[in-house]
Amino acid sequence: MNLGNRLIEISGLNPAEIFGVNDANLRHIKTFFPKLKITARGNMVSLNGDEEVMDEFERKFNLLIQHYQKFNHLTENNIDNLMLEDGSKLLSSDDGSEILVHGNGGAKIKARTVNQKKMVQAVDKDDMVFAVGPAGTGKTYTAVALAVRALKAKEVKRIILTRPAVEAGENLGFLPGDLKEKLDPYLMPLYDALRDMIPAEKLADMIEFGVIEIAPLAFMRGRTLDKAFVILDEAQNTTQMQMKMFLTRMGMTAKFIITGDMSQVDLPSKQRSGLAYALDVLKDVDEISVIRLGQSDVIRHRLVKKIIEAFDKAEIEAKTQKELKEKKE
């Protein structure tokens, strides 16, 4: 190990903009370099540690500076992404070509994290893509943006968005109202994403004329979904038979994205999720991509990431306690 000291100067920027409020960003950066002593004073960053680790820190720190100069903000999520192995691609390839669609009011909708970008690449390469990860990682939103992009480019003739309604069994009879009134609350996240990307009046027309179809999974049975971009959302709540039924609806010129969160399965405890089953049995099938999103892809309020971490930690501890108890018995 070759130990040494190094100083890095931040020029042309207010250091507080990089280090964050009360040095929150700096503390987060330090977690990626536990073997390095990092001290910030004024516009200077002092390093003490192994030369190779300092080289890596300096490379990553320069990426953070470049990101701030380009986008005028630096969040914990940005830091997570830029610290990843391929984080530099976020800067080198972030041009107009990465805009998926222009949303309402001219908003530029694009993949914002490394794994969201991988979703885009996977859809460009393969006709079936599984996107799996916790809440807030942008699985559904990115999938809908890709579908709208394909429709606008006339790569498909329609968009079909589906999800298991209420529960995997889709027991809707007890709810008040007609079928549409019963279903709409459970399909609302799909409507919300579309409303960001298509003007309300045009969206209503597209739904009325079947260019965009939003329906529960049960409505897919017996159909062949062709010349369409099809998204199955909340796929963790499908049964094995429902998942097989859905996947085998695929027509010759269709694109399928299946999204889900294995930490939010609402099936009876003894029933295996169709998503888990599909990921297992299809793992060796060519031309099917699986993108696993994680905490670094969370783009909601910063608390969402901390909530996910806390729940994950609690679940691991509970599992460990259960295993210890079973061993004693």
Is residue 91 very low, low, confident or very high in pLDDT (cuts 50, 70, 90)?
A: low
**Residue 197 to residue 110: CA distance in whole angstroms:** 11
Task: Please indicate, yes or no, whether residues 73 and 101 belong to a single structural domain of this protein.
Answer: no
63 in a structural domain: yes
Task: Please indicate, yes or no, whether residues 120 and 15 belong to a single structural domain of this protein.
Answer: no
Task: Please indicate, yes or no, whether residues 123 and 257 belong to a single structural domain of this protein.
Answer: yes
pLDDT, tens only, 105-163: 667 788 888 899 999 999 999 999 999 998 888 999 999 999 999 998 889 999 999 98
Is residue 168 very low, low, confident or very high in pLDDT (cuts 50, 70, 90)?
A: very low
Residue indicated by tokens 């530099």: 88
Task: Please indicate, yes or no, whether residues 180 and 284 belong to a single structural domain of this protein.
Answer: yes
Cα–Cα nearest to 120, from 139, 96, 92 = 139
Residue indicated by tokens 């060796």: 284
Q: Which of 90, 124, 144 is the last residue of a domain?
A: 90
- Is the predicted pLDDT of residue 97 greater than 70, yes or no? no
Of 68-72, 78-82, 222-226, 247-251, minimum mean pLDDT range: 68-72
Q: What is the pLDDT of residue 86?
A: 61
Residues 6+ apart with CB under 8 A from 236: 260, 261, 262, 264, 265, 266, 273, 275, 276
Q: What angle do CA 253, 96, 302 make, to 5 degrees?
A: 95
320 in a structural domain: no
Is residue 296 very low, low, confident or very high in pLDDT (cuts 50, 70, 90)?
A: confident
Cα–Cα nearest to 49, from 103, 2, 84, 81 = 2
- Domain of 225, CATH number, reads 3.40.50.300
Task: Please indicate, yes or no, whether residues 85 and 170 belong to a single structural domain of this protein.
Answer: no
Task: Please indicate, yes or no, whether residues 243 and 257 belong to a single structural domain of this protein.
Answer: yes
> Residue 72, Cβ neighbours under 10 Å: how many?
8
Task: Please indicate, yes or no, whether residues 130 and 269 belong to a single structural domain of this protein.
Answer: yes
Is 43 in contact with 10 (CB distance < 8 Å)?
A: yes
Of 50-64, 81-95, 147-161, minimum mean pLDDT range: 81-95
> Domain residues for 30?
3-90
* pTM greater than 0.85 (yes/no): no
Task: Please indicate, yes or no, whether residues 77 and 103 belong to a single structural domain of this protein.
Answer: no
Please name the amino acid found at residue 138.
G
Range 155-172 average pLDDT:
73
User: How many domains does the chain contain in total?
Assistant: 2
- Domain of 33, CATH number, reads 3.30.1370.10
Q: What is the pLDDT of residue 74?
A: 80
Range 70-74 average pLDDT:
70
Task: Please indicate, yes or no, whether residues 107 and 178 belong to a single structural domain of this protein.
Answer: yes
% residues pLDDT > 90 (the chain): 40
Is 222 in contact with 152 (CB distance < 8 Å)?
A: no
**What is the DSSP annotation of 261-287?**
-TT---S-TTSPPHHHHHHHHTTT-TT
pLDDT, tens only, 243-254: 999 999 999 999
Is residue 89 very low, low, confident or very high in pLDDT (cuts 50, 70, 90)?
A: low
80 in a structural domain: yes
Is 108 in contact with 267 (CB distance < 8 Å)?
A: no
- Is the predicted pLDDT of residue 92 greater than 60, yes or no? no
Task: Please indicate, yes or no, whether residues 45 and 119 belong to a single structural domain of this protein.
Answer: no
Q: Which of 41, 69, 90 is the last residue of a domain?
A: 90
Q: Kindly list the strands in the beta sheet with 37-41, ordered across the sheet, starting from the edge strand earlier in the chain.
A: 3-9, 44-50, 37-41
Helix or strand run (H / E) with residue 125: helix 114-125
Q: Which of 26, 59, 90 is the last residue of a domain?
A: 90
**Residue 154 to residue 64: CA distance in whole angstroms:** 38
318 in a structural domain: no
CA distances (Å), 132 to each of 127, 209, 230, 261, 287, in order? Answer: 16, 31, 16, 6, 17
Is residue 88 very low, low, confident or very high in pLDDT (cuts 50, 70, 90)?
A: low
Is 250 in contact with 282 (CB distance < 8 Å)?
A: no
70 in a structural domain: yes
Please name the amino acid found at residue 283.
K
Task: Please indicate, yes or no, whether residues 175 and 257 belong to a single structural domain of this protein.
Answer: yes
Long-range contacts of 150-158 (CB under 8 A, 24+ apart): 150/229, 150/255, 151/211, 151/212, 151/229, 152/101, 155/229, 155/255, 156/227, 156/228, 156/229, 156/253, 156/254, 156/255, 157/211, 157/227, 157/228, 158/210, 158/211, 158/212, 158/213, 158/227, 158/228, 158/229
pLDDT, tens only, 200-233: 888 889 989 999 998 889 889 999 999 999 999 9
